[in-house]
Amino acid sequence: MSKPTAIVTGASRGIGRAVATELARTHHVIATYRGRKDAADSLREETGCDIFQCDIASGADREALLGFARERFEKLDLLVNNAGMAPRERRDLLEATEESFDELISTNLKGPYFLTQGAARWMAEQRSGRIVFVTSISAYTASVNRGEYCVSKAGLSMAVALYALRLAELGIPVFEIRPGIIRTDMIAKVEQVYEAKIAAGLLPQRRMGEGVDIARAIRAVADGLLDYSTGTVLNVDGGFSLRGL
């Protein structure tokens, strides 16, 4: 039997790289990157993934990505919407700029929203497929020095509910993976701050998450273990979402 096909966006580094590496064991993976071709090339060498340069905020790039996938493969079995960015500069809510807001909304929300639209049309033809959105605990946790990031992730969380509801009748389950504090280059500048907070009790499971923790959750989706749970939010956060007295 031929391998199933997966698209993983933002796969050259961090969470996306861990996900692409895991899925490459069982899937033909198209791994997208925006600027770091060197990182993407090393992923291809290590895993055999196809790589494709794509700015997820660009409609032309999204169309080209799906065109590339259709040329190479008959079906799309899994879309992992992982690509995203943090603000280029953390600013207090009263000092943040429209330019930063627009950039994050375009990359973190509009891009995956409309990539999913295109992928869902393809999957609807097949009446099969699975879709994952990688969001963040920032979907519900307010950080006043990066409000645009929180707003973009909250919107993305709603996109999960919308697509899950729309696609359920077509047999296409949609899931939200909600990472907590994950060790990636996105948090490199504040990693020690987070480590101190974790040691002080911020997380019930007192360690920072790793990319592989997210990859394992997506593996469960890819293997069909959650197919009767469309719309489910999987908190991969070391217990951050728990409330205790």
Euclidean distance between CA atoms 182 and 177, whole angstroms: 13
Tokens representing 52? 């494709």
152 is catalytic: no
Give the contacts of 231 (CB within 8 A, at least 6 positions apart): 160, 161, 164, 165, 168, 173, 174, 175, 176
37 counts as catalytic: no
Structure tokens given for 173: 């389950």
Ramachandran class of 211: left when φ > 0, alpha when ψ lies in -120 to 50, beta otherwise:
alpha
Q: Which of 12, 33, 100, 149 is catalytic?
A: 149
203, 146 in Cβ contact below 8 A? no
Under 8 Å between Cβ of 132 and 177: yes
Q: Which of 136, 138, 152, 157 is catalytic?
A: 136
- CB-based burial of residue 110 (10 Å sphere; 0-12 exposed, 13-18 middle, 19+ buried)? buried
Catalytic choice (110, 153, 157, 163)? 153
Helix (H), strand (E), coil (C) string for 23-34: HCCCCEEEEEEC
> Is 157 a catalytic site residue?
no
Q: How many CB atoms lie within 10 A of CB 11?
A: 32
What residue type is assigned to position 39 of the chain? Answer: A
Residue pair 112/9 in contact (Cβ under 8 Å)? The answer is yes
CB neighbour class for 59 (10 Å; exposed up to 12, middle 13-18, buried from 19)? middle
What are the catalytic residues?
Answer: 136, 149, 153
